[in-house]
C-alpha cells in the first residue's frame, strides 16, 4: 500500500515540474538604438534574431552623438549599438547603462571612396590632392566616430590644413555616403561596410585607409537601464555574439575581436 501511494505521489509531481521547465519564455520586444553605419547589417540581423528567438526588434538609427543625446533626454531605448567605445563607457559611468554589459560587437574599417571607377588608384593621397576635387565628404567628427577617424587620417597624412576648405560634412556616416553616391562630393571617407553592401550598385573606386592612420573604431554595445529586465534585450545581446551573427557582420566588412 505504501509503495502504491509513493508512486502515485510522484506521478502527480513529475508532470507538473516538466511542464513548468518546458514552458517557453514569453516573447517580448526590445528597442535598439543603432549607429547609422551599422544600419544595413541590423536589417539582416533583425529577421534572423526574430526567427531564432520569437522576440521582436524595434530599431532606430542615427549618429552616435545624437543617439546619446536622445538617451540622456529619456528616449525609451533598451540597447545601444554604438559606432564607438567611448559612448557606451560614458553611459555606464553616468549610470545610464548596466555595469559590465559592454562589449565590442564590431570593429569598423574606413575607406576613401568615389563613384568614379578610375578616380582612386592604389595611392589615396594622390586622389585627395587632385586639382579637380572640389568636395571631400566626411561625417561630422564631433558626432560620428567615422568622421573622427577621417579627420585623424587627414591629420596623419599632413593634409588636414590644406584640404580643410574642401571638406563637406555629413551629420552621420550614412549621409556622408549619400553625398558621394550622388556626386555632390567627388570623394568621401565612408564605412567600408557601405561600399561592400550587397545593395551597393556603384562600386566605383576606393582606397582602404591603413589602420595606422587612425585610432581603431571599436564599436561597443551596451544594455541600457531601460532594458535591464527585458528578456528580448538580453537575448539580442547574446545573439550578436553568436557565430551566425559574426558571419553576417564580417561579410559587411567589419572585424570581430
* 3-class secondary structure per residue, the chain: CHHHHHHHHHHHHHHHHHHHHHCCCCCCEEEEEEEHHHHHHHHHHHHHHHHHHCCEEEEEEECHHHHHHHHHCCCCCCEEECCCCHHHHHHHHCCCECCCCCEEEEEECEEEEECCCCCCCCCHHHHHHCCCCCCEEEECCCCCHHHHHHHHHHHHCCCHHHHHHHEEEECCHHHHHHHHHCCCCCEEEEEHHHHHCCCCCCCCEEEECCHHHCCCEEEEEEEEHHHCCCHHHHHHHHHCCCHHHHHHHHHCCCECC
Stretch 70-96: mean pLDDT, rounded?
A: 97
Considering only residues 52 and 171, tell me which one the structure prediction assigns the higher pLDDT. 52
pLDDT tens string 194-229: 898 877 777 899 999 999 999 999 999 999 999 999
Banded model confidence at residue 63, pLDDT cuts 50, 70, 90: confident
Over residues 104-132, the mean pLDDT reads 96
pLDDT tier, 23 (very low <50, low <70, confident <90, very high otherwise):
very low
pLDDT of residue 22: 33
pLDDT at 3 over 60: no
Mean pLDDT, to the nearest integer, of 109-117? 96
Residue 250 is predicted with a pLDDT of 94
Contacts for 95 with CB less than 8 Å, ≥ 6 apart: 225
pTM comes to 0.75
pLDDT attached to residue 27: 84
pLDDT at 25: 58
Residue 158 has pLDDT above 50, yes or no: yes
What are the residue ranges spanned by the domains of the chain? Answer: 29-107+216-251, 110-208
Which of 13-17, 127-131, 200-204, 234-238 shows the lowest per-residue confidence on average (mean pLDDT)?
A: 13-17
**What average pLDDT does the chain have?**
89
Say yes or no to pLDDT of 1 above 60: no
pLDDT above 90 covers a percentage of the chain that reads 77
Spell out the CATH class of 110-208: alpha beta
Instruction: Answer yes or no: is pLDDT of 2 > 50.
Output: no
* pLDDT given at position 6: 41
For residue 197, the model assigns a pLDDT of: 81
Is 9's pLDDT higher than 50? no
Determine what percent of the chain is predicted with pLDDT higher than 70: 90
Superfamily of domain 29-107+216-251: Periplasmic binding protein-like II (3.40.190.10)
CATH fold match for the domains 29-107+216-251 and 110-208 = yes
Amino acid at each position: 500500500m505504501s509503495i502504491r501511494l509513493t508512486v502515485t505521489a510522484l506521478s502527480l509531481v513529475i508532470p507538473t515540474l516538466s511542464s513548468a521547465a518546458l514552458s517557453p519564455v514569453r516573447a517580448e520586444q526590445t528597442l535598439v538604438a543603432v549607429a547609422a553605419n551599422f544600419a544595413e547589417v541590423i536589417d539582416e540581423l533583425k529577421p534572423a534574431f526574430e526567427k531564432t528567438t520569437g522576440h521582436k526588434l524595434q530599431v532606430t538609427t542615427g549618429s552616435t552623438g545624437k543617439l546619446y543625446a536622445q538617451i540622456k533626454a529619456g528616449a525609451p531605448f533598451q540597447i545601444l549599438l554604438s559606432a564607438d567605445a567611448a559612448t557606451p563607457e560614458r553611459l555606464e559611468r553616468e549610470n545610464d547603462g548596466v555595469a559590465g554589459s559592454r562589449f565590442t560587437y564590431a570593429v569598423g574599417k574606413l575607406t576613401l571612396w568615389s563613384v568614379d571607377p578610375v578616380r582612386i588608384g592604389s595611392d589615396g593621397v594622390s586622389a585627395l590632392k587632385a586639382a579637380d576635387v572640389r568636395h571631400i565628404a566626411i561625417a561630422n567628427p564631433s558626432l560620428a566616430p567615422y568622421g573622427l577617424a577621417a579627420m585623424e587620417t587627414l591629420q596623419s597624412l599632413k593634409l588636414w590644413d590644406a584640404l580643410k576648405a574642401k571638406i563637406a560634412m555629413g551629420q552621420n556616416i550614412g549621409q556622408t555616403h549619400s553625398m558621394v553616391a550622388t556626386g555632390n562630393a567627388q570623394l568621401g571617407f565612408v564605412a567600408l561596410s557601405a561600399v561592400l553592401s550587397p545593395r551597393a550598385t556603384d562600386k566605383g573606386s576606393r582606397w582602404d585607409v591603413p589602420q595606422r592612420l587612425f585610432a581603431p573604431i571599436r564599436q561597443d554595445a551596451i544594455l541600457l537601464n531601460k532594458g535591464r529586465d527585458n528578456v528580448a534585450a538580453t537575448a539580442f545581446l547574446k545573439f550578436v555574439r553568436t557565430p551566425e551573427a559574426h558571419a553576417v557582420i564580417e561579410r559587411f566588412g567589419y572585424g570581430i575581436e
